[in-house]
Structure 1
Amino acid sequence: MVVAGCGPTGAMVAAELRLHDVRVLVLEKDTEPASFVRIVGLHIRSIELMAMRGLLDRLLERGRRRPAAGFFAAKVAEIRGTDRAFSLTPFGEKVYRVVVPAAGVGDRAEPPTLEDVAQRLRAIAGTDFGVHSPRRLSRFGDATRLAERYRVGRVLLAGDAAHVHPPIGGQGLNLGVQDAVNLGWKLAAQVRGWAPGTLLDTYQAERRPVAADVLDNTRAQVELLSAEPGPRAVRRLLAELMDLDEVNRHLIGKITAIDIRYDLGEGHDLPGRRLPDTDVAQDRLYDLLHRGRGLLLDRTGRLTAGGWSDRVDHLADPTAALDVPCLLLRPDGHVAWVGDDQQDLDDHPSRWFGDR
């Protein structure tokens, strides 16, 4: 298997494939890692995925925790009644991230200079805040692109190869990592020979609508950041609405991807949704997903994974903190089935785990 690109998405796809003993060749044009960090951070759903694969502790050792709030349409500082806006955000000890509207940009391929940034700050804020010693300078626009197809034969797209959008909300890397975890186990199943015929097709069916929604919400955020009177009025109204817990939860769920529900058909509301980490007899639920296998979580003690036991682990635990008697989890942590009947269960794993 060849993975083109060793950014976070490519690296995650390769790691997922290796969990299933698939040989991987990763191709990367850069000979050295980047000397700067391009992203703001991992959102809640991506953090959950890291926990599922036993990677979270290493990330927490090197990262900083941030509250999951206040990042829809960014927090822009409007200057005491003017129509201009910029953002100045602490980003570590004596380090700040500055985002400032560009003006009169000529060749976008040319990187900005520190003086470009300082001039724009002086024009908008009346001061350049003494900015100096930049770690990274870059431009971004509001272009959005979405691949029409995520799969053509043996070629599959993920991450920035499948979708691009403005970096507002810090969704790009998170979207790509989530693509990788959705795709990895399905691609491994295809290589190992047990994938159902339609399994790889579910990658596009599930992930492309998620990307389309991200493109929509970044477009909306770009409009809200406009200095024009109309968008400014909408932004003020939205700020009022975000004081309502239900609205704030909805927007946070949209940005952080915890509200995603893949369409697995009619019935119970839980299938298609991700299952949050929870207490089980063996410590934590996500600890049981490190190997990238399916999981039958059985509170009744009466069910069995049967002929899928080489692909689906089984935990009989009457104390599990669930609102349903039993459920079947896919390797990406999304619920595939809920119930308590063995025959009904036997009718479902083949959709995700092939023939027995």
Structure 2
Amino acid sequence: MNTTHPAMTLYGLKVSYFTGKMENYLRYKEIPFSYQSMTAEHFERIIPEATGARQMPAIQLADGRWMTDSTPMIEWLETQWPRHSIYPDDPLQDFVCRLIEDYADEWLWRPAMHYRWSFAAGRAMLGHLIVDEMAPTTPLPRVLIRWSVRRRQKKYFVDGDGVTRQTRAHVEQGYLRLLDILERVFTQRPFVFGERPTLADFGLSGPLFRHFANDPDPAMIMRERAPAVYAWTARLWRTRGSACGTGLVTGIPDDLLPLLAEIGATHLPNLVANAAAHARQQREYSVALQGTSYTRLPVSQYRVWCLERLQHRARALPEEVAALARPLLEAQQCWQPLWQDAMVSSGYDPDQQVPFGRGLPVYHVPGP
């Protein structure tokens, strides 16, 4: 971490999904920043007063402005610190990076939270770590606060996000498939697209670095089943833009096609079903994915926006690039929801203020 004349302060937790993603990015880019634990006061009062939403992480710039939401934060930071860009020059690679990032941010959230809060060892460890960082001086009994945190997280992010006895096996199989796919990739090259990290790596680092490689149960699986993936998490953490290779592979390598197929079979149809329910003003929706039925999933306006942005980016590709993309992505079930289905409209961030917008929550979750 470069803290010499920091350009910003990153508020988050050392076990946080998106804090880890942002730390990896800032370290690689060698952007001067300081880290500040997001205490309960930050989360409940300071951050909401500054941004209009309780979100983690949040960044305060040296000029006093606040930012939230990792994807638009990275997009803005790339305009300010363009050296060692994480976006490939190849427009098709660039689009696939953004698709992988969205899958990592939104679809892998469910298995990451399941493995953290459904297993006794993870619940116990994370209950301690979160309370110790967020409430180091609380006068309340710590055992009670830890119990409350464990209960809240499982209620909203596991039980309330479609993880049931009927879906649990599918949730876990998705993690195992991801490990098998990435193990083949990282035995061939250090990062997703070659010698240097791209947005795809930083997106995947959200769930893989601070959850799957850190929490007891998924970490044991990763070490034994996918040691090259485990090594990649450390490699990304220590890599700096000024001291790594620059070469990327040509086009979309064959070993990434199974990952695109997984996205086409899970993440994209889930986004489509969520968007359709949002258009009908429903609060819940159901969707069948790879033979597993998920019911009573909470409708997310933010995820409609995610699909909306992907559709806009896909349809903005130059004609010659789209011609190359179509047979590749059609075979992986990724073409229709992005290029052929009707454009969705989220109503999220209508004034295009992210990452500086106010009152733009990613998740609508009641307070503790």
Indicate the TM-score class for this superposition, using the shorter chain for normalisation. Answer: under 0.3
User: Quick check: which one's helix share is greater?
Assistant: 2
* Alignment TM-score, normalising by the size of structure 1: 0.26
User: Quick check: which one's strand share is greater?
Assistant: 1
> Rg: which structure is higher?
1
* Alignment TM-score, normalising by the size of structure 2: 0.26
